[in-house]
Amino acid sequence: MRVYTETVVHSAPEAYVSEAPYQIAIVVREDGSRVTGRILGDRVSIDDPVELAEARNGVPYFRKKDK
């Protein structure tokens, strides 16, 4: 799985204000489908490989994968 695009959110919506700044990304899965999720740990850039760390409340959380 790789990062298709990403951003670090500084100005968050009401529900996530306490978590900002946080990184979100659109990740391309092995089957080519895409999903929007959060990034845990190190910041990622476009094309970085990531792996699924966990799912919380139906939202996938990814982590940078060691190359």
Partner 1 sequence: MRPVAVIGLGKTPFGAFPDRDLRSLAVEAGRKCLENGHVRASQVGAFYLGNFAGPAFVGQNHLAPYIGQSLGLEGIPATRFEAACASGGTAFFHAWAAVAAGIYDVVLVTGVEKMTCQATPRVAEILASAGDVAGEMKAGATFPALFAMIARRHMHDFGTRREDLAAVAVKNHANGARNPYAHMRKVISLEQALAGKPVADPLTVYDCSLVSDGAAAVLLAPLERAAEFTARPVRIAAVAQTSDRFALEEKADITTFPAVKRAAEQAYKMAGVGPRAIEFAELHDCFTIAEIIALEDLGFAPRGQGGRYTSEGCTLPSGLLPVNASGGLKAKGHPVGATGVGQICDVALQIRGEAGEMQLGRHELGLAENLGGSGASAVVTILRAA
Residues forming contacts to partner 1 in the complex (CB under 8 A) are: 4-17, 19, 21-22, 24-26, 34-38, 46, 57-60
Q: How far is the CB of 67 from partner 1 (least distance, A)?
A: 19
Q: How far is the CB of 18 from partner 1 (least distance, A)?
A: 10
Nearer to partner 1, 38 or 64 (CB): 38
Spell out where 1-67 has E strands.
Answer: 2-9, 22-28, 34-40, 50-56, 59-64
